[in-house]
Chains A and B, each alone.
Chain A
Amino acid sequence: MPQSAEKVLDHAPLFREPEYRQMLAEKRLNFECPHPDQVVTDQGEFTKTWEYREKNLAREALVVNPAKACQPLGAVFAAAGFERTMSFVHGSQGCVAYYRSHLSRHFKEPASAVSSSMTEDAAVFGGLKNMVDGLANTYQLYDPKMIAVSTTCMAEVIGDDLHSFIENAKDEGSVPRDFDVPFAHTPAFVGSHVDGYDVTVKGILEHFWKGEERTEAEGTINIIPGFDGFCVGNNRELKRLLDLLGVSYTFIQDASDQFDTPSDGEYRMYDGGTKIEDVRKALNAEATLSLQHYNTRKTLEYCEGRGQATASFHYPLGVQATDDFLMEVSAISGKQIPETIRLERGRLVDAMADSQSWLHGKKYAVYGDPDFVYAVARFIMETGGEPTHCLATNGTSAWEAELKELLASSPFGKDAQVWAGKDLWAMRSLLFTEPVDLLIGNSYGKYLERDTGTPLIRLTFPIFDRHHHHRFALMGYQGGLRVLTTILDKIFDKLDRETSETGVTDYSYDLTR
Chain B
Amino acid sequence: MSILINKDTRVLVQGITGREGRFHAEQMQKYGTKIVAGVTPGKGGQEVLGVPVYDTVKEAVAQHAIDASIVFVPAAAAADAALESAHAGVPLVVLITEGIPTLDMVAAVKEIKELGVRLIGGNCPGLISAEESKLGIMPGHVFKKGRVGLISRSGTLTYEAAAALSDAGLGTTTTVGIGGDPIIGTTFKDLLPLFNEDPETEAVVVIGEIGGSDEEEAAAWVKEHMTKPVVGFIGGRSAPKGKRMGHAGAIIMGDVGTPESKLKAFAEADIPVADTIDEIVELVKQRLS
Q: Is B truly associated with A?
A: no
Chain A contact residues, CB within 8 Å of chain B: none
Chain B contact residues, CB within 8 Å of chain A: none
